[in-house]
Amino acid sequence: MSAQTTAANVQDIIEARLEKRTKGNYVPAGGKKMIAFMDDINMPVRDYYGSPPPLELVRLWHDYGYWFDRAKQWRKNVKNMVLCGAAGPPGGARSPLPPRLLSCFHAFYLSSPTQQQLVKIFGTMLGQHLLDFDEETKSVAILKIHLACCSSVCKPSLRPSRTDAKYETADNQSVSLTNLASPSFFIVTPFSSRKTVLIATIDMFNNVVAKLLPTPSKMHYLFNLRDISKIFQGLLRSNKDYTNTKPRFLRLWIHECFRVFCDRLTEEKDREWFLNHVGDMLGKHFELTFHALCPSKSPPLFGHFLNPYEVYDDMNDPDALRKYILNQLEEYNSCPGVVKMDLVLFKDAIEHVCRIVRVISQPRGNMLCVGIGEYNKPGLLMSFSSSPYFFMRIRADVSSDGGSGRTCLTRLATYICEYTSFTVVVTKTYGIKEFREDLKYFFLCGGCLYKHPSSHTHDTQTRNNNLWITQRVTPCGNRTRYTFYAGSSRLPSHRTNSAVVLYTGCGVDQKKTTFIFSDTQIAEETFTEVMNNLLSSGEVTNLYKPDEFEDVIRDELFNTGYFRAVSPALLGSY
């Protein structure tokens, strides 16, 4: 939930998962029991009388087992449903839960994980990834294992499954996992020296949270455990053939820390503090200095697009990086049907492109770019990815045409990742209905970007409201590119069969698309609720009607052999 969530939104989301059994009775499909999980349940704003309408709707159902149809005002009995909610501590945008609602739930308080728990969680993932790396690299990250002799309480589930690795016991004896399989040994608790990336990351996170506090001008200085996960997500992209030494692995760790923490900082003094803090962490945990690992006195840059095998590697040659991005820009401008970009690729612009590529190339690569545009007005750029909607992998960015280059650099990074871009044009009469229609056709045709090279050219065009889609199949280098535009009124209003082809390609072939949406295009506050649903669950409730699923998709899926018999609910989930 968010501050813009209404009671109608909650009712529509739940009813989308129900089917009518008898008159006035609605149950989950398949005779199952449904659990409705409501995250951030204390985020909706209160009305004039001090009660949140979405929560009052939930309490109405809990007390009486029904709510009312909003169009015909009759009862809708909702059965076989269990509610489960999650809420953060009151403060900021979160309000205290009403006591009458809280009495309807069994309340459990979940404390933040301790450092020992974080070490176990992230140490397990990193240790499994580095099993095949050199010992020099393992010594930086893998934890020592504290073993104890206790045959009476041996638990087989705690024994490691790998038998070809060596671990060090508390008394500095080397023990293989073959010996650990005997009942006399089992893992008690991780025992780490201080010289590990794992401990340094947790210490850095705690210091950043304590030092960089949110203020009204820096409201985005919010850090949580997801930031630690993002650092280790980057470390897990390392390759044993390239990041096989201690300095190289530490350079990767420095890069991920700067991308996760430092890229969020807006003031120069905060960035200087973080740079000094990274040096302190290197000296404390690894007895190294920042300048020893980074002679250029600037943080390293990692990416996958310069490596011939698309391995996440250190891009330590600025001339080669600049030449590659210039070539990509020239290739982008040479493609037919695109607006040419005349960009000056100075150092900061190149680094911004690398940052955007890093984010949108990862699963659920969500991005929010904040910058000063024209007339010193702030602008935003946000992205979401890997939406489960129709099995599409979607990349979406929100950017502004304020003059700081967020839109152009996003388009260039999108081209480097071999995605396509999509945007809408807002008019004076543009509202939530038109926005949902544009999203509908974005899902219909946003994903088909590249196909096999072709020697022919043909155009098929369709227009719906403010959305103009041009399918142009022409050779573009060694790739065939589709270009899409929005916001034109030059075409007659009609639909073609190409929409079906594009829909199937986007849903079945899992094509990737960048959705560019600027803060100036938010004509109504309800747009933010739609974007919130896309970011959290990857779908927009009731975006398509049942007959659209049956008429447009069913025949295509049956022809490809993906389904033999499918219900409308399963078809919508697909």
The CATH number of whichever domain residue 225 belongs to comes to 1.20.920.30
DSSP assignment of 152-211, as one string? GG--GGGS-S--S-EEE-TTS-EEEHHHHTSTTEEEEEEE--S--HHHHHHHHHHHHHHH
- The pLDDT of residue 159: 42
What digits encode the pLDDT tens for the residues 476-488? 334 434 334 444 3
- The pLDDT of residue 436: 83
Provide the H-helix boundaries in 450-550.
Answer: 498-508, 526-536, 546-548
Lowest mean pLDDT among 148-162, 427-441, 535-549: 148-162
CA distance 398 to 463: 23
Residue 129 lies in a domain: no
- The pLDDT of residue 432: 86
Lowest mean pLDDT among 139-143, 310-314, 424-428: 139-143
SS3 456: coil
The answer to whether residues 311 and 426 belong to one domain is: no
Reply yes or no on whether the pLDDT at 536 is more than 70. yes
CA distance 256 to 334: 34
Q: How confident is the prediction for the chain on average, in pLDDT?
A: 74
Residue 386 lies in a domain: yes
Reply yes or no on whether the pLDDT at 332 is more than 90. yes
Q: HSE of 466 in the Cβ direction (CA atoms, 13 Å)?
A: 20
Reply yes or no on whether the pLDDT at 193 is more than 50. no
C-alpha to C-alpha distances, 85 to 1, 98, 103, nearest whole angstrom: 10, 13, 13
Residue 482 lies in a domain: yes
CA distance 146 to 162: 17
- The pLDDT of residue 435: 86
The answer to whether residues 228 and 278 belong to one domain is: yes
C-alpha to C-alpha distances, 396 to 2, 54, 144, 305, 447, nearest whole angstrom: 19, 28, 42, 20, 12
CATH number at residue 525: 3.40.50
Domain finish residue from 191, 224, 255: 191
**pLDDT range class, residue 475, cuts 50, 70, 90:** very low
**pLDDT range class, residue 366, cuts 50, 70, 90:** confident
**pLDDT range class, residue 81, cuts 50, 70, 90:** very high
Residue 380 lies in a domain: yes
Reply yes or no on whether the pLDDT at 20 is more than 50. yes
The answer to whether residues 284 and 355 belong to one domain is: no
The answer to whether residues 176 and 61 belong to one domain is: no
Name the more confident of 375 and 142: 142
In the numeric block, the tokens 């079906």 are attached to: 500
The answer to whether residues 477 and 379 belong to one domain is: yes
What is the average per-residue pLDDT within 373-392?
Answer: 41
The answer to whether residues 377 and 464 belong to one domain is: yes
Lowest mean pLDDT among 36-40, 151-155, 258-262: 151-155
Lowest mean pLDDT among 425-434, 497-506, 552-561: 497-506
Q: Label the pairing between strands 393-397 and 512-516.
A: parallel
What is the average per-residue pLDDT within 310-319?
Answer: 93
Number of domains in the chain: 4
**pLDDT range class, residue 368, cuts 50, 70, 90:** confident
Q: pLDDT above 70 covers what percent of the chain?
A: 67
Domain finish residue from 164, 191, 218: 191
Domain finish residue from 298, 316, 334: 316
- The pLDDT of residue 424: 82
What is the average per-residue pLDDT within 247-251?
Answer: 94
CA distance 97 to 90: 8
CA distance 138 to 105: 47
The answer to whether residues 167 and 45 belong to one domain is: no
Residue 153 lies in a domain: yes
What is the average per-residue pLDDT within 26-31?
Answer: 88
The answer to whether residues 291 and 369 belong to one domain is: no
Reply yes or no on whether the pLDDT at 386 is more than 80. no
**pLDDT range class, residue 149, cuts 50, 70, 90:** very low
Residue 301 lies in a domain: yes
Range of the domain at 176: 144-191
The answer to whether residues 155 and 271 belong to one domain is: no
The answer to whether residues 210 and 154 belong to one domain is: no
By CB atoms closer than 10 A (0-12, 13-18, 19+), residue 166 is: exposed
- The pLDDT of residue 568: 57
CA distance 553 to 173: 62
Residue 574 lies in a domain: no
The answer to whether residues 414 and 534 belong to one domain is: yes
The answer to whether residues 505 and 365 belong to one domain is: yes
Residue 556 lies in a domain: no
